[in-house]
Amino acid sequence: MLDISKLLEEIKQTPFDKVEIVSPWCGRVSFADIKEEDPVAGPSGNWLEVPGTLLANVEREHNPKPVRAPEKGRIEIIHNELEGQFIEAGTPLLTLKHFLTKQEVIQIILKQALHLFNAPERAKYYFVPEVDVKIRAAGHRSVRIANGMDLFIMSRMKREAILPYSGPEGLIYSVYFSHNENVGAGEPLIGVCPEELMPIVEDVVARVQAEWEEQE
């Protein structure tokens, strides 16, 4: 069985992701005015319309194309030796240390702990009436499901079909679709958690919410 506490401890040991920035194309590199340990920002704004911090320009055919930070974090390594050099696409330019946010930590844990049941095709999905009643009455985390159980109604272009659940037995931990909205093929519909893991997952998520300190 998955040891979630151990997983959390492991994350705590290295509470960051290392993001390697590679040159997307070939060209001559000139790094922006940055140094190691400098903080950088990823794209921001409601529509991610504000670009991330400029890290370098890779000039090709007199066209200085910018390379920007994809995530918030700190610069760990800059390959300054490449300054002014002509490089191939895919050459590492810098490494960013991206500190995990609460949401990212929770996502890592849930990814390990939950079984995701995905939409087989683009359609609108609804729970079958019996399950829907239970969810309305006591919330989705009280609904126990098993392999082969009729769980969804898949609705598309006035065609409705029953979609049975396939996967391990457990409780519905999270629902990723909403009423009357289309879900694309391959996108998750629900996350299912084995019943015995449920209290531990809930506890760990609550601990992360309360205790996780996001580093700049």
Partner 1 sequence: MIDVEKKLHRLNDRLAYIKDIFAGKQNEAVRMLQVRLDDFQARVAEMSAQERLSAISAMEELFTFMEQKLDEQLSPMDKVRIVRHPQRICLRDILENVYDNYTEIGGQDDKSIDPSMLIARAYITRRRGKALHNQPVMVIGQETGHGDEFRNGGSVKPWGNAKALQYMKVAEIENIPVHTFVFTPGSYPIEDYPGAAQQIARNLYEMAGLKVPIVAVFSEGGSGGAEAIGLADRRLMLSHGYYSVISPEGAAAIEGRLRDGTRAAPELIERCALQLKMTAQDNLRHGLIDQVVEEPPLGAKPYHYEFFQSLRNELMRATDEVVLTTRSFALLRGAISQPHRPKSLENYNAENFVTRWSLSTKARDRLVVLRQKKFRNLSNGRWIDPRTSFDLMLTKIQATSTDLLNLFRHDLWGRRKKQLGYAVEEMDAGARMLLHRIFNPFFSFTRELFGTKPRAKIAEELTTLSSWEEDGSKNGTWSYISSKAKEDRAVTCPNAAKYGCLDLWAPDLFGEFAGVCTHCGYHFPMGYKWFMYNVFDPGSIREFNQEIEATNPLNWDGFDAKLEQAKQKTGLKSGCITFEASINNTRMCVALLAASFRGGSVGVAEGEKFLSAIERAQRKRLPVLAYVHGTAGIRIQEGTNGVIQMPRCTIGVRRYIDAGGLYLVVYDTNSYAGPVASFLGCSPYQFAIRSTNLGFAGRGVIKETTGLDIPPDYHDAEKALSRGHIQGIWDRRDIRANLQQALVTMGGRNLYYK
Examine residue 60 and tell whether it contacts partner 1 (CB under 8 A): yes
CB closer to partner 1, 60 vs 141 = 60
Examine residue 134 and tell whether it contacts partner 1 (CB under 8 A): no
CB closer to partner 1, 60 vs 79 = 60
Ordered DSSP codes for the chain:
---HHHHHHHHHHS-EEEEEEE-SS-EEEEE-S--TT-EE---BSTTS-B---EEEEEEETTEEEEEE-SSSEEEEEE-GGGTT-EE-TT-EEEEEEEEPPHHHHHHHHHHHHPEEEE-SSSEEEEE-HHHHHHHHHH-GGG-EE-TT-EEEEEEETTEEEEEE--S--EEEEEE---TT-EE-TT-EEEEEE-GGGHHHHHHHHHHHHHHPPPP-
Rounded least distance, CB 49 to partner 1, Å: 4
CB closer to partner 1, 7 vs 32 = 32
Examine residue 61 and tell whether it contacts partner 1 (CB under 8 A): yes
* Site size toward partner 1, by CB under 8 A: 9
CB closer to partner 1, 63 vs 103 = 63
Examine residue 129 and tell whether it contacts partner 1 (CB under 8 A): no
User: What mask, x for binding partner 1 by CB under 8 A, covers residues 64 to 83?
Assistant: -x------------------
Q: What does each C-alpha distance from 115 to 59, 105, 193 come to in angstroms?
A: 45, 17, 6
Residue from 6, 45, 129, 158 binding partner 1 (CB under 8 A):
45
The count of other CB atoms within 10 Å of the CB of residue 200 is: 17
> Binding segment for partner 1 among 6-14, 39-47, 128-136, 181-189 (CB under 8 A)?
39-47
Examine residue 63 and tell whether it contacts partner 1 (CB under 8 A): yes
Rounded least distance, CB 59 to partner 1, Å: 9
Name the nearest CA neighbour of 38 among 64, 16, 69, 13. 69
Rounded least distance, CB 18 to partner 1, Å: 23
Rounded least distance, CB 45 to partner 1, Å: 8
Q: Note the residues at the interface with partner 1 (CB under 8 A).
A: 45-47, 49, 60-63, 65
